[in-house]
Amino acid sequence: MPCGGSVTGTRLAPGPPRADIPAMDEFAVRPDPADPRLTERVTGIDQAGQTIETAVPVERPLTLFLNGREIVTMMTVGDYPDCLAVGYLLNQNMLRPDDRITAIDFDEETETVVVRTERQTDFEDKLKKKTLTSGCAQGTVFGDVMEKFDQVALDPAALIHTSWLYALSKKINTTPSLYLEAGAIHGCVLCERDRPLIYMEDVGRHNAIDKIAGYMHLHNVAPDGKLFYTTGRLTSEMVIKTVQMRIPILISRSGFTAWGVALARRAGLTLIGRAKGKRFIALAGEQRIRFDADPAAADDEPRRAQRKASLDEDAA
């Protein structure tokens, strides 16, 4: 399921940049829990020893090439491989925003995706510097990923209204998703005001955010006026990628890491966590929040939408 349709053994070539991008529909992209490729039915037993059948998400490898060079093999549910590939390269600073992508080749049988560009780049030095991140599943960040972090100027006039926050939380967590179907999955959502626009899921939150970054690049979606929502922890990696995407507000239903908070304050990013039902905590960029809704009037989170947590206030 690529950004532009079926691509088994197909080449995708992005169209030319457009000057006038129409407003996106709410949930222009959303999870498809009915897609049979994304989950499997397995049998087991429950706590009473009774036989049960349940859905579990799939994991499959996807090997990414940039031109003729192999970059990384990622574990993913397998949808939107072109978005994942382009977003990964952008967020690792291996693809510049002004690079012209001439084609994207995806082969489902060999589980490979090749991004082809006009500019040829040597990545040997960067590949030697890669380190594991705190993200679940397969995740890497290069030693020089901070090289552009301090150069990004986030919009100081951007705002988040608490009424938008409550509406987004309800819409996102009650819409059909792989998580509600099978669990063991992370979601990321690009939003505008109280409207979810692009909702991606994967086994790792870093994959989900990369898919959105890739979609934005391939479809010329500007970060202006956008908010970013994730179900995962607010780690340094999530903060860095959100800043690199030039989105000034990051929201999560989960908790924070100390370095994630420090980097958000350093970049001027608004960081809102533990956003569940009527509750939330902001640890950076609080000046952007407009309190226009009474928390007492907000709905509690539906039980079916509540995600598992190691602590009562933190989702995994």
Percent of the chain clearing pLDDT 90 (strictly above):
71
**Please, what's the largest Cα pairwise distance for the chain?**
61
Q: Compute φ and ψ for 289, nearest 5 degrees.
A: -85, 130
Distances (CA, A) of 180 to 54, 55, 121, 237, 307: 12, 10, 41, 25, 9
Q: Compute φ and ψ for 157, nearest 5 degrees.
A: -90, -5
Tell me what the mean pLDDT of segment 292-297 comes to: 90
Q: Which among 304, 205, 193, 194 is positioned nearest to 254, based on CA atoms? A: 205
The DSSP output letter for 294 is -
What the block records as the tokens of 310 is 């190691």
Strands 186-192 and 195-202: antiparallel
The answer to which of 121-125, 137-141, 146-150, 214-218 has the lowest mean pLDDT is 137-141
Whether the pLDDT of residue 88 is over 60: the answer is yes
The residue that leads in pLDDT, 153 or 15, is 153
Indicate the length of the chain as a whole number: 316
The answer to which of 58-62, 268-272, 293-297 has the lowest mean pLDDT is 293-297
pLDDT score for 20 = 42
Confidence class for position 7, pLDDT limits 50, 70, 90: very low
Residue 172: exposed, middle, or buried by beta-carbon count in 10 A (0-12, 13-18, 19+)?
A: buried
What pTM value is reported for the model?
0.86
Strand partners, 131: 141
Considering the chain, what is the average pLDDT of its residues? Answer: 86
The residue that leads in pLDDT, 131 or 179, is 179
Q: What is the rounded distance in angstroms from the CA atom of residue 60 to the CA atom of residue 76?
A: 5
Whether the pLDDT of residue 162 is over 50: the answer is yes
Confidence class for position 136, pLDDT limits 50, 70, 90: low
pLDDT in tens, 183-233: 989 999 999 999 999 999 999 999 999 999 999 999 999 999 999 999 999
SS3 148: helix
pLDDT in tens, 65-79: 999 899 999 999 999
pLDDT in tens, 247-277: 999 999 999 999 999 999 999 999 999 999 8
Confidence class for position 140, pLDDT limits 50, 70, 90: very low
pLDDT score for 314 = 46
Strands 112-117 and 60-66: parallel
Strand partners, 198: 29, 190
If phi > 0 it is left, if psi is from -120 to 50 it is alpha, else beta; for residue 228 that is beta
Tell me what the mean pLDDT of segment 23-41 comes to: 93
The DSSP output letter for 307 is P
Whether the pLDDT of residue 143 is over 60: the answer is no
